[in-house]
A and B are shown apart, each in its own frame.
Chain A
Amino acid sequence: MLAVDDLVVSYGRGPKRVPAVNGITFRIDAGECVGFIGANGAGKSTTLKVLMGFIYADSGNAEVCGLPAGAPESRRSIGYLPEVALYYPFMKAGELLELYGALGGMARGDLRSRIPEVLKQVGLDGRQGQLLKTFSKGMQQRLGIAQALITKPDLLIMDELTSGLDPLGRYDLHEIIRGLKKDGRTIFFSSHELSEVEALCDRVILIDRGRIIREVTQAELRTVGRERSLEAFFIEQVRSGGTGDA
């Protein structure tokens, strides 16, 4: 479903060039739910942006559904939630979802029934006609999830899954993710919340300073969780460059 091989990405030019991702390789199969964990500036968002075609790699390969990442066709089966979710303030929630659904190739008739359904799914039922400039940060985040789900994508890529959500919003979103997992969707998300990753993911990829330092399965994470805190484990892995015990 998703393959990254020896990906190198840097920002800036010439002597001011700063490496952001430094030769990472990983693979995600259909139906998997994978978390991408790392400190700020570790290269998580950069990797996700390459997969979406927002920035271009210096070298290496990234493929989505067998197509080169960035090709418009590769995005047909992706639902994407950006790290900072802001939407056109002059639009109403229903109009925004109609815009994204139409761009995703949905027919107008299908959108008419899908929009109320997806708004209900994210806890925004009845808000279809409300202008987005009146939405709170949490409501915008929920709407962001709705726009990612509008086309019923096979692959969900989410940057900072629950950022800006209150505990109730987090709980709702976790339930949505569990439902999508049951449906067999592939989910790849970055997060700072270790407990969230443990609760939702089949596998976790740890990244630090542009390099993958460790891949951990859910079973390993649970074992770790019984022995010591996940935070302690994460810090230990970062400090040891991924050689610490699981």
Chain B
Amino acid sequence: MHDMRCAMVIAKSVLLEAVRRKEVYVIIILCCALIGVVMSLDFFGLHGLVKFYREVALQLMGISCALAVILLATRQLPREFEIKTIYPLLARPVGRLTFLLGKGLGVCAAAAFCLALFMLIYVAGILSLGGDLAWGLFLQHIYLQMLQMALLTAVCFMLSLLINYDAAMVIGFLFYSASGILSSASLVLYDLTNNAGRALLWLANYALPQLVLFDLSKKVIHYEPALRAELWRPLSFGIMAALTFYALCHTLLYGGVSYYLFRRRAL
């Protein structure tokens, strides 16, 4: 009970940092400005504009949220070590696992805060353009994005414990942006390589999280309920449960490696 309360208190401090530091707002304002530019374009016609808006807005929101999470998550532990704020914190009856859990929950709460803001902006934009909003698909997309952010947080924590802050941030962002390319490239390469290469690709396929699995944006963008309604239904409960399980396994894997690296680290 005390451990859970400690984790929540630490998470609250991370959320406070995310809210009080300016970078999250800068990302959100830039994102809104770009969305505003898209909404002002009128050479697509209204139907095309709604689709274009959906595409640009969802892509921007995904990237902006990931950027905010990567910045926040990779900074958490190195900053604690650097300015030595970790000493008074761990001088309390708080275990290192609780500390890490609290930090992770805090970054996830900040991600949820960003996603909630983006969600409001997106919905307001769609309604002002008079477009259709696929509520079911859209909410599933937000949920999957949240899972993706939790996974990304665990990966960033691990990176920040293995390498320095700057390198962790760059690799974290490269990993996020190249995940889709890596997934499709590994499928092509699998047929072209020898057995050792295949074993490596097989390992990479299961060990590296496939972030593209959490991207429902294509369905949300091309939502056309008038054409073949069965195509635009929300995903089934089974698929959502499987994706949740997949995200949970990878988050635990990378969170576990982070804890292993942090557990006996000299401070």
A127 at the B interface (CB under 8 A) = no
Contact check, A52 vs B21: say whether CB atoms are below 8 A apart. Answer: no
Contact check, B93 vs A91: say whether CB atoms are below 8 A apart. Answer: no
Contact check, B13 vs A91: say whether CB atoms are below 8 A apart. Answer: yes
Interface pick from A71-79, A173-181, A204-212, A221-229 = A71-79
B47 at the A interface (CB under 8 A) = no
Interface residues of A in 33-78 (CB under 8 A from B): 49, 52-56, 72-73, 75-76, 78
Q: Which residues of chain A come closer than 8 Å to B21, judged between CB atoms? A: 90
Q: Closest residue of chain B to A89, judged by CB? A: B83
A169 at the B interface (CB under 8 A) = no
Q: A73 with B93: in contact, given A88-B13, A90-B16, A95-B16 (CB under 8 Å)?
A: yes
Contact check, A54 vs B85: say whether CB atoms are below 8 A apart. Answer: no
Could you say which of A79, A80, A85, A99 contacts B13, with CB atoms under 8 Å apart?
Answer: A99
A144 at the B interface (CB under 8 A) = yes
Q: Which residues of chain A come closer than 8 Å to B13, judged between CB atoms? A: 88, 91, 99
Contact check, B85 vs A80: say whether CB atoms are below 8 A apart. Answer: no
- Cα-based distance from A95 to B14 in the complex (angstroms): 13
Closest chain-B Cβ to A111's Cβ sits at a distance in Å of 11
Q: Which residues of chain A come closer than 8 Å to B16, judged between CB atoms? A: 90-91, 95
A105 at the B interface (CB under 8 A) = yes
Count residues of B near A (Cβ-Cβ below 8 Å).
27
Could you say which of A49, A105, A147 contacts B267, with CB atoms under 8 Å apart?
Answer: A49
Q: Which residues of chain A come closer than 8 Å to B88, judged between CB atoms? A: 80, 82, 85, 87, 100, 144, 147-148
Q: Which residues of chain B come closer than 8 Å to A55, judged between CB atoms? A: 266-267
Q: Which residues of chain B come closer than 8 Å to A84, judged between CB atoms? A: 84
B228 at the A interface (CB under 8 A) = no
Contact check, A75 vs B92: say whether CB atoms are below 8 A apart. Answer: yes
Report the interface size class on chain A: 20 to 34
A104 at the B interface (CB under 8 A) = yes
Q: A88 with B264: in contact, given A95-B16, A102-B9 (CB under 8 Å)?
A: no
Could you say which of B6, B9, B91 contacts A80, with CB atoms under 8 Å apart?
Answer: B91
Contact check, A52 vs B91: say whether CB atoms are below 8 A apart. Answer: yes
Contact check, B91 vs A105: say whether CB atoms are below 8 A apart. Answer: no
- Cα-based distance from A56 to B267 in the complex (angstroms): 10
Q: A90 with B17: in contact, given A52-B91, A54-B90, A104-B93 (CB under 8 Å)?
A: yes
Contact check, A103 vs B9: say whether CB atoms are below 8 A apart. Answer: yes
A86 at the B interface (CB under 8 A) = yes
Candidate in A54, A84, A144 with the most chain B CB atoms within 10 angstroms? A54
Contact check, A103 vs B92: say whether CB atoms are below 8 A apart. Answer: yes
Contact check, A56 vs B6: say whether CB atoms are below 8 A apart. Answer: no
Contact check, B267 vs A54: say whether CB atoms are below 8 A apart. Answer: yes
- Cα-based distance from A91 to B10 in the complex (angstroms): 13
- Cα-based distance from A103 to B84 in the complex (angstroms): 17
- Cα-based distance from A51 to B266 in the complex (angstroms): 13
B1-36: CB near A (< 8 Å → 1, else 0) gives 010011001101100110011000000000000000
Q: Closest residue of chain A to B18, judged by CB? A: A90
Contact check, A103 vs B95: say whether CB atoms are below 8 A apart. Answer: no
Q: Which residues of chain A come closer than 8 Å to B91, judged between CB atoms? A: 52, 75, 78-80, 82, 148
Q: Which residues of chain B come closer than 8 Å to A144, judged between CB atoms? A: 88
B94 at the A interface (CB under 8 A) = yes
Q: Closest residue of chain A to B95, judged by CB? A: A72
Interface residues of B in 42-57 (CB under 8 A from A): none
- Cα-based distance from A78 to B5 in the complex (angstroms): 19
Closest chain-A Cβ to B6's Cβ sits at a distance in Å of 5
Q: Which residues of chain A come closer than 8 Å to B264, judged between CB atoms? A: 56
Contact check, B267 vs A103: say whether CB atoms are below 8 A apart. Answer: no
Interface residues of A in 93-151 (CB under 8 A from B): 95, 99-100, 102-105, 144, 147-148, 151
Closest 9 pairs (CB-CB, A-B)? A80-B91, A103-B92, A82-B87, A54-B267, A90-B20, A55-B266, A76-B93, A86-B83, A72-B93
Show 20 A/B contacts (Cβ-Cβ < 8 Å), sorted by A: A52-B90, A56-B264, A75-B93, A75-B94, A80-B88, A82-B88, A85-B84, A86-B84, A90-B17, A90-B21, A91-B16, A99-B13, A102-B5, A103-B6, A103-B10, A103-B89, A103-B93, A104-B92, A105-B2, A105-B92
Using A52-B90, A87-B88 as known contacts, list a sample of 16 further A-B pairs with CB atoms less than 8 Å apart, ordered by residue number in A.
A52-B91, A55-B266, A72-B93, A72-B94, A75-B90, A75-B92, A82-B91, A90-B21, A95-B16, A99-B9, A99-B12, A100-B88, A100-B92, A102-B5, A103-B89, A148-B88
